[in-house]
Chain A
């Protein structure tokens, strides 16, 4: 799977988790850009991403991920 495809799939996951069909994420997207992305939703989002890609993040990755770009880097390493 290429970077583009990962972003495409992530868009679907984000739209589903945050119940907002207008969300489009990119490398620089952070929790500040999406209204409902707080510390609670962060864990839900991680779980949704994990089940979508069939991977598992470590707690350290979950806590230190700075933006969607970093999330994609980690996903690409794992799939």
Chain B
């Protein structure tokens, strides 16, 4: 079902141009955006894996991360003219601060809006999550206004780095991959190897039994929200660098794309979320270029409905919680 669209366009490209360059470039751009979506999707999948809640405000956590990053450009005085060393140090500082900002915001929301409802009917925390999503969007409006704001292009992200077979790989594409891969590897290692990661997996499997084994379930859940928020904040910075604009609504859009990715990969499944993010990114890249980006959300939502109805366990294997 998913492969149909790329194949159709591959045939069209071969007929019209005699090569696959256009499709290839769509895919390259899609994979870079997909890497960002994947980071956001990890937050959804971690939280759903552990308390079965669709953290609707997660997209806005990503948006706030981007806003913090943009704000810090000015504070640290980073401009496109800054030298390479200053840029690297500055961006690392921004990465840490925006990730921490998003992470702590996510943890705080869990404490205020989800924890009191842990024994309430299941839809209650979903409704508060939607409420927080709107509150944060309006914080974004008050912060930077209601229209898109363009951001100084620190890295020259659109400038071509090298060209393979007509595929243009830009600096931004490289950045998205170089920044995302270590984060995902770190996360997988943390969950798979560390003591706290073990506690997370145990809580996801059976919170009651985990509590009896001496695991502090509340702390573990907070930790999960913190991890998801950290990744979303990092994604916010990468997005600010790559797409060079910030907007209060970007979180809502990215959030729904990322949620689709998480469902596609089998919600609760970390590797699935990453693969799902990349797939959604490619689909978005193709539709943006071929049909027009005003229609892309409609198609992605269409995919979401189809997947939820026909493969609610995800495209990639069975539902497995927190199984790296």
Chains A and B come from one and the same complex? no
Instruction: Enumerate chain B interface residues (CB-CB to A < 8 A).
Output: none
Chain A residues engaging chain B, CB cutoff 8 angstroms: none
